[in-house]
């Protein structure tokens, strides 16, 4: 429910909650060698933190079933292709790029940013409630 944009930078592995948290970010940038996975079912767990709602919205039911039920690892490029991430970059550039994107909000009218984010997130919030 944070009213400011949230920017994530992923290098290395994002497994389980590490991937699930990305679903709640406004911008996600991943390294070209990043590995992501949501192995909940294989671990005897159910997907958490609204991933069972958000993953099908992002990628459709069939691809969501592949990611959530089978839990196979996927690459940074696959994260972009299925809607989890905005862009894949060389690992050394990810954090700097994410920081530059985040800093761009300093020049924007904060009220307009907050209201635009609220309006974009309203449909998801209504489904959860």
**72-126 per-position pLDDT tens digit:** 999 999 999 999 999 999 999 999 999 999 999 889 999 999 999 999 888 766 6
Q: What is the dihedral of CA 122, 61, 51, 57, to 10 degrees?
A: -20
| pTM for this prediction | 0.89
Crossing angle of helices 110-128 and 51-59, rounded to 10°: 110
Kindly state the helix (H) or strand (E) to which residue 94 belongs, with its residue range. Answer: helix 91-104
Encode pLDDT of 24-71 as tens digits.
Answer: 999 999 999 999 999 999 999 999 889 999 999 999 999 999 999 999
């Amino acid at each position: 429910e944070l009213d400011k944009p949230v920017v994530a930078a992923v290098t290395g592995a994002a497994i389980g909650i590490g991937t699930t948290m990305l679903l709640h970010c406004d911008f996600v940038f991943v390294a070209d060698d990043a590995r992501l996975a949501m192995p909940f079912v294989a671990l005897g767990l159910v997907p958490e933190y609204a991933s069972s709602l958000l993953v099908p919205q992002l990628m459709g039911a069939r691809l969501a079933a592949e990611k959530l039920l089978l839990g196979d690892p996927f690459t940074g490029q696959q994260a972009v292709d299925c809607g989890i991430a905005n862009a894949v970059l060389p690992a050394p550039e990810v954090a700097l790029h994410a920081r530059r994107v985040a800093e761009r909000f300093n020049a924007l009218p904060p009220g307009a940013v907050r209201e635009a984010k609220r309006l974009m997130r309203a449909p998801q919030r209504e489904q959860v409630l």
